[in-house]
Amino acid sequence: MEAESKKEFWSWGKSLVVAVLVAFLVRQFLFTPVIVSGESMEPTFHDNNRVVISKISSLDHFDKIVFHAPNAKEDFIKRVIGLPGDTIRMENDVLTINGKEYPEKYLDSNKEALPEGQNLTQDFEVIVPEGQLFVMGDNRTNSMDSRIFGSIEEDSVVGKVKFRFYPFTEMGNPK
């Protein structure tokens, strides 16, 4: 009986070690949870939202990403506006990428809260250097982003937001 107990104990022990190792590898190289800090992505994300990011996803315009912020110790969450080589232009709150206008529906509620005649985003034009991304927060009046610190290195990206798991009432793929 004692030999059987030892055998079962070692079996459970090996299973536990394998499970912990798999969880570590998945978190380190594939997916990881992140807590949103601050208001820069409102209304898409709010302070203390919990999201899962993928560390292996390719990036495209308007993806939400987490990256190592330049000149800061923390990571930021922003929206990719420009990819390497893109010409980004903002004029009268109309975003143009490489000569094509893109509606930013995710900004509608922020625009509605502005006083009459005021723009949410100041006018600018920039060409995104190779190997870099141009990122902006959805809360344009309260976001430290590429308009302030410039384009970010593609290598600084931690991952792409794939899923919000908290608050439970907003669980799912954030738009």
Active site residues: 40, 78
| Rounded CA separation 29/154 (Å) | 17
Sign of the C-alpha dihedral, residues 94, 100, 105, 107?
Answer: negative
Q: Which residues make beta-bridge pairs with 95?
A: 90, 102
Closest CA to 36 of 24, 51, 21: 51
| Rounded CA separation 54/30 (Å) | 6
Q: Are 31 and 52 in contact (CB under 8 A)?
A: yes
Estimate to the nearest angstrom the gap between the alpha carbon of 29 and the chain centroid: 17
Secondary structure (3-state) at 36: coil
Contacts for 113-119: CB closer than 8 Å, 24+ residues apart: 119/92, 119/93
